[in-house]
Chains A and B, each alone.
Chain A
Amino acid sequence: MSLEFNKLVSQVQTMGRFLGHRDQSLSTRLDLALQLFYAATDLDAVHQRIELVRRSSVSGYRGAAALDEVICQTFDRPPMPPSGTLVAADGSQIYPDQHSPALYYLINLGWFTCYYGETRLPDQATEPTLYYSDNEILDADGRLINNITVNARRSVAEMQALAKQAWFLRGEARPLVCLHDGGLLKFFGANEVTDANKIEADYMEALQRLQDAQALLAGYLDKPRSTYIISLLHLLSLDPSQINDLNLKTNGELEGLADIYLMSRVLRPGQRSAIMTQNSPQNREYASRNPDYEIAFFYLNVSDDVRPAIARVDIPLWVARNKRAVDDLHAILMAQCAIQGRRHYPYALTRADELAYVSSSEKQQLNELINIEMLKNRVESEASDKLQTKGLARGSRRQHRIGSR
């Protein structure tokens, strides 16, 4: 049965009205946020307010914490470094499927390296890895691992690939920018992720190796939904006596706003925001392992015209503390985002994604290869009835043609 659009049309119209109304209501809140933002010129006062929520019994603050830049400050696009190297890594996966002929999952990594300051062909590579042994696909209770675990393992594998490349490229021109698709602050919850502790340890080890290679690590998030600065503005708007978990549970009058709305009004093309960190137990945990691992962020308007395109860039503190490194990263990201015309997204990440992507037809081919090998080894291979009947019902129809078979 196909989707019955006639039953959806009125729902889509209602949704349009809802979004329109929400935008109007956000506009008023955004004006308030802008007032609070531009009023936050006293860095000491901001620091004091952050210390208050860190030292008191308040535990619910998940907003931004200022570092050494005034939060309403903006920074123009710096000049490009004369030379440099950029490597971007991305990954994709085939999730384990208990209805497939064999239990396995696949992680395919792709990385793309380009060189600045010289006319040189960029390098590219992929590394697919098949996981099929019991200790790889089953959890401690013998159940098939879930997709969240595969995602976590893929994230770590991406970071390990960046670390490996950073070491491999250590002799190339500096700065050496390592670009990751997504945020750097990862949460590997033990309740959801099998072997969460090991995954976290591997992630931290990859960070260590990246730092050892003196790489400028950055996580790139397009159209971020984070509310770190909005939460900070809400905190600043409260009287010290009002600061408690209940009041910090929401962003009060600013609730519903995301940083991207604010930054769209604040940042001109090419500008970045101040660098801040996120105040969260997770980030504290990173910092407790090594103060250099605490994750900071800034927003960047990667557009080159009047329509803003806001991205969030996560960087570890070893990068954030180095102003020259931040400038180089800022300039290189702007250059990357200018390559694809109307699409303001780093070209290197687009290419890494292209390299890593596993299409459904490739998945099908891999399953056929596995089937053949199973037959060769006299292992009975048969997809579950559920999968096979789904395939029958979803299959495309054929036209009748005279003379065709």
Chain B
Amino acid sequence: MEDSVSIVGRVLRASTTGFDCGTRSNRIDDRHNFGAFVRVPISDDGSAYAIGLIYAIRIDDDPLARELVMATNIDQATLMDQRDNRMVPVEICALNVGYIYNGMMFHSLPPRPPLSLSEVVLCHAGEVYDFTQRCDYFRLVLQASEVPSDELIAAALRYASYAYPENERYQFLVRCGRTLANLLANDLKRLSHVLTLIRPDG
């Protein structure tokens, strides 16, 4: 069982390329940031985890919520009722970028998806640091369809940079920038955009 503080949600649906998890709307906070690294168990014995990047956070409406939006003002009790009592789940979508197996990290799709209701947690700083020592997962992000891949890779790198000591952060971003320059060498507009997004002084 994971520390409840780091639980992002529980898996609703999954495949080897990614998974969606759900949580209650009142629990949305900085654990659910776009570009955050999350992990979810893919084996019962805790030896294997899929690692994903949060690429979308969705909050569905319903007819009642739509009517409330039309009201002149919503009192605090109604707001609390909607957020705390009503079953309006927030869906968080993650793209698989790697997996952990017996403590080793791999930058490729996990061998199997997580099961429904598995706990999705934030990767702690040490895991993010270890995982981002290599840049092989970039290709998985840049080639992902139906994902804002440029913004996602930039957000993930900015997120990961905070797992590094301050004196290593600049070097980390420069190293990632060089890898991106290789991968996007045939699309300079795209490369320029991504580099702007991760520029250390930006």
A interface vs B, CB < 8 Å?
114-115, 119-122, 124, 338-343, 347, 350-351, 354
In the assembly, what is the distance between CA of A343 and CA of B75, in Å? Answer: 16
In the assembly, what is the distance between CA of A338 and CA of B77, in Å? Answer: 14
- Which residues of B in the span 5-49 have a Cβ within 8 Å of any Cβ on A? none
27 contacts between A and B (CB under 8 A): A114-B77, A114-B81, A115-B77, A119-B76, A119-B77, A120-B80, A121-B84, A121-B85, A122-B77, A122-B80, A122-B81, A124-B85, A338-B71, A339-B68, A339-B78, A340-B68, A340-B71, A341-B68, A341-B69, A341-B70, A341-B71, A341-B72, A342-B67, A342-B70, A343-B67, A351-B81, A354-B86
- Across the interface, A121 reaches (CB within 8 A) one of B64, B71, B72, B77, namely B77
Q: How many A-B residue pairs have CB under 8 A?
A: 45
Q: Report chain B residues within 8 Å CB of A350.
A: 64
In the complex, the 3 A-B pairs of residues with the closest C-beta atoms, listed nearest first = A341-B70, A341-B71, A122-B81
Known: A121-B84, A122-B85, A124-B85. A340 touches B77 (CB 8 A): no
Nearest to A115 among chain B residues (CB) is B77
- Min CB gap B195→A, angstroms: 42
- Across the interface, B67 reaches (CB within 8 A) one of A114, A115, A121, A341, namely A341
Q: Judging by beta carbons under 8 Å apart, are B78 and A347 in contact?
A: yes
In the assembly, what is the distance between CA of A95 and CA of B84, in Å? Answer: 32
Q: List 10 other contacts, CB 8 Å, given A122-B77, A339-B75.
A: A119-B80, A121-B77, A122-B81, A124-B85, A340-B64, A340-B68, A341-B70, A347-B78, A354-B64, A354-B86
In the assembly, what is the distance between CA of A120 and CA of B76, in Å? Answer: 8
Q: Report chain B residues within 8 Å CB of A354.
A: 64, 86
- Across the interface, A339 reaches (CB within 8 A) one of B74, B80, B84, namely B74
In the assembly, what is the distance between CA of A134 and CA of B71, in Å? Answer: 49
Q: Report chain B residues within 8 Å CB of A121.
A: 77, 80-81, 84-85
- Which residues of B in the span 54-95 have a Cβ within 8 Å of any Cβ on A? 64, 67-72, 74-78, 80-81, 84-86
Q: Which of B64, B72, B77, B84 counts the most A-chain CB atoms under 10 A from its CB?
A: B77
In the assembly, what is the distance between CA of A340 and CA of B66, in Å? Answer: 9
Q: Judging by beta carbons under 8 Å apart, are B77 and A120 in contact?
A: yes
- Min CB gap A208→B, angstroms: 31
Q: Report chain B residues within 8 Å CB of A122.
A: 77, 80-81, 85
Q: Report chain A residues within 8 Å CB of B68.
A: 339-341
- Min CB gap B184→A, angstroms: 34
- Min CB gap A32→B, angstroms: 37
